[in-house]
Amino acid sequence: MNQPIAPHRVEFLHHPHPGFPHLTAWGIRINGTDLRVLVAEATRTLWNRELDEDDDTPQEREEFLLRQHAPLHLDADGARARSHFLGDAPPHLRDRDTGALCLLSCPCGIDACWPLLARLRVTATQVTWSGFYQLHRPEWGELPLGPYVFPRPAYEAALATPVPLAQDPLAPLLGKE
């Protein structure tokens, strides 16, 4: 028998894009941890198979893992972000084959360049993120993340009141203060 999945807590963050202050970056924390940190942990061994460890210092490798994704650049007022994170994402922020939703984008600013995708399931009582994958690394398969189940009222409240930040919360780890 399957054990019920304990609910998780999500926070949506927004801050100015470091290179384009007129754009709003929408980040995500799950249970208090930035999604990019969770992805770094989930992809560490996968990257270790591909990268030559002699090319980078341990600090450079860690920065690479944390920089592989960036927050999505959505609207400042949150209307587009709310639609997006409830499943009504525009075609360029979805995998046309699977319908998976882009949760993080590429640091270059082009969402389709290096997106983190996940299946989104919305019911009357909960929102579930599962089946995380990197579109451009099919050989990696599903990443060891989630599933994350959020109570829908708390999820919608987090979307309606994102945490405003002056800068990217990972900026100190990435030497961008």
Residue 70: DSSP 8-state: B
Helices 35-50/58-67 angle, 10° precision = 120
- How many CA atoms within 13 Å lie on the side-chain side of 138? 3
pLDDT, one tens digit per residue, over 15-36 is 987 777 777 889 999 999 999 9
pLDDT, one tens digit per residue, over 123-159 is 999 999 999 999 889 999 999 999 999 999 999 999 9
Is the distance from CB of 66 to CB of 37 less than 8 angstroms? Answer: yes
Q: Which helix (H) or strand (E) holds 119?
A: strand 116-122
User: Any idea which of 51-60, 87-96, 107-116 has the lowest mean pLDDT?
Assistant: 51-60
Residue 4 has pLDDT above 70, yes or no: no
Confidence band of 3 (pLDDT split at 50, 70, 90): low
In the chain, where does DSSP find H-type helix?
35-50, 58-67, 79-85, 152-160
Residue recorded with tokens 């249970």: 31
